[in-house]
Structure 1
Amino acid sequence: MSKRLASKHKIDRRMGQNIWGRPKSPVNRREYGPGQHGQRRKGKISDFGTQLRAKQKLKGYYGNITEKQFVKIYKEAIRLKGDSAENLIGLLERRLDAVVYRAKFVPTVFAARQFVNHGHVKVNGRRVNIPSYRVRPGDVIEVKEASKQLEIVVVASQLAERDVPDYIDVDHGKMTATYTRVPTLSDVPYPVQMEPNLVVEFYSR
C-alpha cells in the first residue's frame, strides 16, 4: 500500500483547510498546522509560497499524485488551446479515479485509486485498473458486478456530505456513471477554493 493513502489528514493540517470537506478532518477541531510550532503566528507568505501552496493543495486533492505525474498533466494543459488553468482542471477531472470518486462509488479519492487498482471498475464494458486512465465524454463507467455489494460502495453511495456534479450522470441502482462532458473550474464542487491559475504561474516561472 502506498504511503500516500494514509496522508489525507496530514495534507489537511499542512494546508490549514479541510480540502475534501470531510467531517472527520482534524482541521475541523484545530485549524493550525502540525508539530510543536504549528500554533505560532504565521508570517506573510511570499508570492512563491502562495503559488506553491496552491499547487500542493490541488495536487493533494487528487489523491496526492506524484510531482512527476502532476508536471506531465500541467505540460499537456499548456499545450492545449484555451485557458491553461481551465485545461488543467479538465484533465484532472478526466482521471478515472477522480470520476469514480465524483460518482460516489467510494468515499474518498484515495479509496478510488485503490478501488480502480484492484480491478473493481469497468469503462465501456472493459476492466480498467489504471487510476490515471483518461475518461472521455460519453464513456460509461461501472462497478464490476461482483463488487456492487461491497460495503464501501454501498456506504459511499449514501453519503450526504457531497453531491454528484452535473457533468456525471449516475445511476446508483445499477452502479453506472456516464461522463457527459469535461467540466470547467466553476463546475467542479471543490469544498475549498482552488487556484489553478497560481499553479500555472508556479510552473511557468
Structure 2
Amino acid sequence: MTTEYFHFLGILGVAFFAVSGTLLGHEKKINGFGVVVVACLTALGGGTIRDVVLSQPIFWISSPDYLLSTYAAIIGTILFIRYMPPLSNYYFIFVDAVGLAIFNIMGIEKALIEGTGMIIAITMGMTTGIFGGLMRDVVCREIPLVMQGDVYASACLAGGLTYAALFSLDAPYAWCILGSVVVTVVLRAGATRWGWRVNLFKKRQAAPSDKEQ
C-alpha cells in the first residue's frame, strides 16, 4: 500500500470514529468539552495502543492531519446535530461500523509493513478497531459493545480473515481492503438489523429423548 493511500485511509477512519464518539456523547448529554474528549478517545485511542505495541511513533503526533480530521469531524457533527433533524440511532451504528472496518485494515496493514506475520497483523487490526470504541463506552458508562454478545470483535476477526484469504491468493491490495471492509460492515450492521449474536457459552438444548431418560 502506498504511503499516500495509507494516510488517506487513516484520515477517513479517524473521522468516522470521531463522528461516532460525538454522537454517543450527544446521546449521553455530555457537555461540550466532554464530547471532544470522548470523540478524541474514540478516534485516536485504538491507533495509539497499536503504535505503542508495535514500538512505532504515535500516528497523530507524527502527522497532525489526523488531529485536524478528528476536530473537523467533531465540529461538523455538532453543527449537523444543531441544525438538522434529529438523528436516528442507525447513523451511529453505520459510522461506527465503517470506522471499525477502516481501523481494522489500518492495524493489519501497519503490522504487515513492520514485518509481522499475518496472525499478529489480524490481532493488531482488532486492537486498532476495538479499543477506541472500548474507551468511548467506558467513559460514557456503557457496557462496551465488544463485551456484549453483539457481533463486534468477531466482525473485525472475520474482516481480518477475509483480508488474509485474499492476500494469500495474491489479490490486489484494493480487493483485499474492499473485501475486508464489506465483510466487517455487513456483519456489524447485520447484527444490529437482525439481532445476530455470538454466544460462546450458550448451553446446548437437550433433545426430547434426553429429557425423557
TM-score range, shorter chain: 0.3 to 0.5
Which is helix-richer, 1 or 2? 2
Which is strand-richer, 1 or 2? 1
Q: TM-score, normalised by structure 2?
A: 0.33
Q: Which has the larger radius of gyration?
A: 2
Q: TM-score, normalised by structure 1?
A: 0.34
